[in-house]
């Protein structure tokens, strides 16, 4: 690279990183926090003995998993105003990403609950625990340990997917790179730099995931 390109790479690194710290990471955290209650609720609906609830949960998962995230994002931001509901870019992104996490996370949670041996339920019923208490005190804590790896992967994927929020004018990592690239006309350089920042974030999250899994494994053996 020329000296000018090196200078641009160095001077643009902080604005792009700042976009990650102020936009990408908070957006992913808020969306994941909003999506997990949806995931748990939908998973329980899917496992319900009531056919209507089970069907509604299945339809929700099918719609979320069967449509592109970009389309979901555009439906919330550009579609809702046609119904008289105007949502700002940030809330629109959080709503769309939370629903997406809810759809994918529901199947993870459902599989984790099903992985708990049936004997755990039966033992709890024998000592007089209700279905709700058995679920919250016995089953869900065990399911949580099983679901950590796939849910961690879901969160890492969400961090990368937040780049789509730039299309509805949310100021985050990729949006910052786009703006600098448009001004400098150094598209390859800036987009590679954005990719590098995403990669570093995902490496850090993967390391945290591995550490968490190790702790849970140690706890499970005691």
Q: What is the CATH number of domain 3-221?
A: 1.10.3720.10
> Please, which pLDDT band fits residue 208 given cuts at 50, 70 and 90?
confident
pTM over 0.85: yes
Question: Quick one: pLDDT at residue 117?
Answer: 81
> Please, which pLDDT band fits residue 127 given cuts at 50, 70 and 90?
confident
Per-residue pLDDT at 145 exceeds 70 = yes
Measured in Å, how far apart are the chain's first and last C-alpha atoms?
A: 55
Cα(173)–Cα(154) distance, integer angstroms: 19
Q: What is the mean pLDDT of the chain?
A: 89
Residues 6+ apart with CB under 8 A from 89: 77, 165, 168, 169, 170
Strand segments, DSSP code E, in the chain are none
- Residues 116 and 43 sit within 8 Å (Cβ to Cβ): no
């Amino acid at each position: 690279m020329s000296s000018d390109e090196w200078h641009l790479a160095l001077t643009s690194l902080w604005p792009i990183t700042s976009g990650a710290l102020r936009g990408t990471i908070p957006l992913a955290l808020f969306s994941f926090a909003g999506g997990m209650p949806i995931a748990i609720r939908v998973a329980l609906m899917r496992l319900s003995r009531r056919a209507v609830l089970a069907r509604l949960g299945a339809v929700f998962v099918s719609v979320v998993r069967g449509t592109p995230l970009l389309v979901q994002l555009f439906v919330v931001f550009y579609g809702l105003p046609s119904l008289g509901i105007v949502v700002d870019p940030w809330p629109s992104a959080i709503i769309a990403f939370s629903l997406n996490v809810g759809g994918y996370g529901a199947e993870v949670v459902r599989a984790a609950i099903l992985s708990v041996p049936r004997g755990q339920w039966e033992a709890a019923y024998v000592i007089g625990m209700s279905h709700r208490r058995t679920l919250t005190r016995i089953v869900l804590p065990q399911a949580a340990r099983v679901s950590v790896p796939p849910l961690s992967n879901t969160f890492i994927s969400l961090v990368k997917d937040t780049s789509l929020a730039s299309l509805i004018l949310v100021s985050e990592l990729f949006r910052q790179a786009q703006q600098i690239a448009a001004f400098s006309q150094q598209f390859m350089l800036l987009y590679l730099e954005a990719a590098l920042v995403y990669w570093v974030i995902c490496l850090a999250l993967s390391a945290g995931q591995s550490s968490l899994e190790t702790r849970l494994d140690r706890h499970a053996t005691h």
